[in-house]
Amino acid sequence: MQTQAQVVPIRTPDATFADDVLSVIERDGSLRSETDPKLPQETVLRFYRAMVRTRIIDGQLERLQRQGRIGFHIGSLGEEACILGSAAAMRPNDWIFPCYREFGALLWRGFPLQTYVDNMYGNADDVVKGRQMPDHYTGKPYRFGSVSSPIGTQITQAVGFGWAARRKGTDEVVSVYFGEGATSSNEFHTGMNFAGVMNAPVVFLCRNNRWAISVPSEKQTGSATFAQKGVAYGVRGVRVDGNDVLATYKVVREAVERAARGEGPTLVEMLTYRLGGHSTSDDPRAYRAQDEVEQWRRTDPILRLRTHLEALGVWDESKEEAYKQEVEAELKACVAAAEAKAKPSLESMFDDVFAELPWHLKEQREQLLGGPRAKDHH
């Protein structure tokens, strides 16, 4: 383990306020009139509630993992604004391809919380039938692709999907999330090149949260920014304050509309910060200074939006507490229901492999179901 003196120097939030980074919400909660997307007040309140709900779910799932009740969780602490703002900017007919922190985006699209919690437990009602680790969800009815762990693979999948939409003549746009670390993957370069050449209607959503597990962003690239990586591929690159939900919404919506008009893909660098560990399997104290985290904590996207809403007089402490209690009660009920459900059936592992099950798998299924089995084990 590194000592504090060996830890990489502090990355301050000041870069988020650079001239080339679009923002809307000032530090005091006021809005910049020249960049304000002028959304209805109820929409902004909905953004805030979704961000708070996401954080409450995150905290409870981490506690459940520590108690041994679920095996794993990968959260979005500190990144709620860039995830929710970008998801909200997508139109209902557009598709989203996730990385692995975007459960808030799926819930925003209407995915039932119970179904998400069932995935965390891998029970009989899990949409992926317990075949993947927790947080590997999917929601085809919600136009939301499936999570897979290999770095960057969703990028080429999204580009192919977008290219297919263009060939079919629809105006569907595809967005794809990834961390800044994925810009070092083969899939990023292949996807960017293909999208640029084919003019695919894709919005590349790079969550620059400063850390790819334990690798800091300045060791990830020699480029001054991640947005400029689009230049070589003929892809427009823009930077946005990812801790500002209104700014994120504005930039991504403009990119979506541009793609829908046939004007090509956009790479959006969303500047944010991962306040927690990479996952429940990670201890970030081993590689980063706590002083750095505390500086970023003061730019918390939820506190920032709440400051704005309180200045408008539409949110206060009593509303905050009432809403938190509502979400906590909903989540508690979902957890209780998930824990009471059965495990996926043994025979279900043979489903969804072939349209018609071949003879040798039928034989294996019969042997599995009829053979000896240890008590209480699948």
Residue-level pLDDT at 13: 87
Residue-level pLDDT at 377: 58
Residue-level pLDDT at 148: 86
Report CA-CA distances (Å) from 215 to 178, 189, 254, 278, 345: 15, 20, 31, 11, 40
Domain ranges of the chain: 4-344, 349-378
Question: What's the token pair of residue 290?
Answer: 């706590």
Helix or strand holding residue 121 (H, E): helix 113-121
For residue 141, how far is the Cα from the chain centroid?
Answer: 18
Which amino acids are annotated catalytic? Answer: 274, 278, 287
Residue-level pLDDT at 378: 53
State which amino acid sits at residue 151.
I
Residue-level pLDDT at 1: 44
Residue-level pLDDT at 2: 46
pLDDT averaged per 10 residues in sequence order, the chain, 378 residues:
47 83 93 97 98 98 97 97 98 97 98 98 96 95 94 97 96 97 97 98 97 94 95 97 98 98 98 96 94 94 97 97 98 98 93 93 93 69
End-to-end Cα, the chain, rounded Å: 38
Question: What's the token pair of residue 270?
Answer: 């969303």
Question: What's the token pair of residue 134?
Answer: 């927790």
Rg over CA atoms, the chain = 22
Q: What letter would DSSP give residue 364? A: H
Angle between helices 317-340 and 113-121 (to 10 degrees): 50
State which amino acid sits at residue 101.
R
Residue-level pLDDT at 3: 47
Q: What's the CATH architecture for 4-344? A: 3-Layer(aba) Sandwich (3.40)
Distance separating alpha carbons of residues 100 and 148, to the nearest angstrom: 7
Residue-level pLDDT at 10: 59
